[in-house]
Structure 1
């Protein structure tokens, strides 16, 4: 899931032991997705020193769950794997797994001016196309929330177009990070992450511009770029991104990516997130198959989402299975797109941020709720579809923001009393 300079200085050929003895400057490698890497299991941090002594061309970064990534820009992947396999204190050696965005099944860009035009005679009324706000009753929930703290949502994806007019002021650039290139430039070079972000939140304050699921609530996107311009990334890079998002204070993590097979490093990072109280939402996938063998959809403690058509039926492409917890609109969802554009896209990648956004609404109403409590609220308040009760196509049902907030009042988990006012003028059915 990887890809010499000929030195004329004789001292370069000194052995590793000689270099250590003489106190030579250690080799520094750049940990990017282009570096040759291997994921290993070790017993303790002391093993790192031993590995470095025996393979001085590498650097090592610890992951969660007793794993570490060994990386090098100085030796080939074959050499790296071969050298590691000979070390007794290295229990397991594997190449990182390749993971990709859940690629949308449809994409239609809107051909219009990249910036809002407030000339009412020519403006496109984006709001009239946002059926996902209506079907999930998100617009009815906004006025019920008396927010107590900013909610931070990490979009672990391809980055974000932070210059997009509908996203300006909604992006936490101070903490954003690009693990693909190992720098702070999180500009989206693929498009997927920008679309996902706009589904969750936008800065719009009128009835014409695009509105995210969270309306005008104080919700910030933390972009963590772990996928490249092709929408692909490696499991060790993704694991680092998940851990980073947790450590930077994410309340919720949106993961609209996946791949078949298991990835211990991603699983360990997710379990770390859950232990820290973070809600983790993942796409079921777009292969119309059982997602029980997909990562991260099948992992424990993940809120897995299937996609619905405009008629509230399982989308033809959507994965299914016992791992599915909730469903949400996923067909032709309108959102932001790079370079100030907008696009309709379809997929469980689009359904996932709908659920993420509604989880953010619930968290905004009562920030003391645990991830498990919020998940239970979303499940119990969902609109049952298909056969009665939880099923493999819809999980517990279609997520519903208004019912979720009402159920919080009934269960006594809301931090404020329910208000009677509902914003009806924002969207007309």
Structure 2
């Protein structure tokens, strides 16, 4: 468990200041993205140290579970603050205009799973049990801000979650505790998240490796804490929760997109950093919330089999929530028919070119 945060003092002015301290919201243009989607109808499971109710978060907090002994059985105890902070980054709703902490997806729900003790030393088997609970209780996304051993039960649970069309987002790890991308971020199909600083450069704390998919802000990240306080964190834990919030925005706007297509939408619209194309520091780049919700992303396979009857294969229709006027599904699966393989290869060349910060934005569908 990554623990790079500290609680700030609790005083009346803190709730007024905290929003301006959340620099990552402006950096990612979160207010613009939230005009398009706020994460409604999406449940994000947070297996962590628990999630304590907070004035900025309590409306979005569901009844969860305690995998370890000593809790009330609902996942809503937290003596560490890590889990409460991650939940706030995902779905804090604040206390009105510009008051209190705000998450990336402030209408999403949080399913709290207390599987890590106060000392932050997690157990892979308990994390596996928490993941199973999340899948069995309707989680759309699982946000894992921890790294650890890849035991057989945990590998089985991660693969079962992916097979159940659940989006799994996990932190890559922090230097110096970690020297390579840890598990479950290293598992194929999991969105592995690294971190950047205020200038958009790789955060010194963020590990590197070929498994990195995307990066997000990870330095001096303010969020909710225990006892109604706020916390400041630095690490890929925070970046992971932010990316989980981004996935919630996408899944809310396009509820019929398969999990792999949601991941593809994040990587295909990311703003390239470092050497052109994917690299081991930034993956495909820094997430772009607005582009991920609006870009006409080229398809790489079949549309979701769960789309409503009669839905066509168009990337601007499939997967779209009724009433939306944005773009629709992007398929990211294995093509098995010759014609799909042929077109998929052509589109893959396009999709693998990452958008650089000085490039024009992806084409917006009308």
Inter-partner Cα distance in structure 2 for 1:363 and 1:291: 30
Over alpha carbons, which structure has the higher Rg? 1
Inter-partner Cα distance in structure 1 for 2:30 and 2:93: 16
Change (3 A) 1:382 1:238: same
- What is aligned with 2:121? 232
Change (3 A) 1:309 1:275: same
The runs of 4+ residues in structure 1 deviating greater than 6 Å are none
Unaligned runs of 5+ in 1: 1-100, 420-429
Q: Render the CA deviation track for 1:224-275: whole Å, top value 9, x for unaligned.
A: 111011111222111111011000000000000112x432211110110011
- What is aligned with 2:333? none
Q: Secondary structure in 2 aligned to 1:212? A: coil
Please state if 1:257 is matched with 2:146.
yes
Inter-partner Cα distance in structure 2 for 1:418 and 1:271: 31
Contact between 2:66 and 2:73, CA under 8 Å: does it hold in 1? yes
Inter-partner Cα distance in structure 1 for 2:59 and 2:37: 21
CA-atom RMSD, angstroms? 2.0
Q: Render the CA deviation track for 1:5-57: whole Å, top value 9, x for unaligned.
A: xxxxxxxxxxxxxxxxxxxxxxxxxxxxxxxxxxxxxxxxxxxxxxxxxxxxx
Q: Provide TM-score, normalisation by structure 2.
A: 0.78
- What is aligned with 2:2? 102
- What is aligned with 1:139? 31
Q: Provide TM-score, normalisation by structure 1.
A: 0.67
Change (3 A) 1:395 1:144: same
- What is aligned with 1:361? 249
Contact between 1:263 and 1:295, CA under 8 Å: does it hold in 2? no
- What is aligned with 2:276? 388
- What is aligned with 1:200? 90
More strand by share: 1
Q: Render the CA deviation track for 1:97-145: whole Å, top value 9, x for unaligned.
A: xxxx1222xx3433232xx66xxxx963322111111222222111123
- What is aligned with 1:165? 55
Unaligned runs of 5+ in 2: 299-314, 328-366
Contact between 2:15 and 2:101, CA under 8 Å: does it hold in 1? no
Contact between 1:290 and 1:321, CA under 8 Å: does it hold in 2? no
| CA-CA distance at 1:167 after TM superposition | 1.4
Contact between 2:170 and 2:192, CA under 8 Å: does it hold in 1? yes
Matching residue within 212, 216, 223 for 1:328? 216
Inter-partner Cα distance in structure 2 for 1:125 and 1:320: 33
Q: How does 1:12-411 map to 2 (within 5 A)?
A: 101-104=1-4, 107-113=5-11, 124-145=16-37, 150-162=41-53, 164-173=54-63, 176-181=64-69, 184-186=73-75, 187-204=77-94, 205-215=96-106, 218-259=107-148, 261-287=149-175, 290-292=179-181, 294-408=182-296, 411=315
Inter-partner Cα distance in structure 2 for 1:123 and 1:283: 28
| CA-CA distance at 1:302 after TM superposition | 0.7
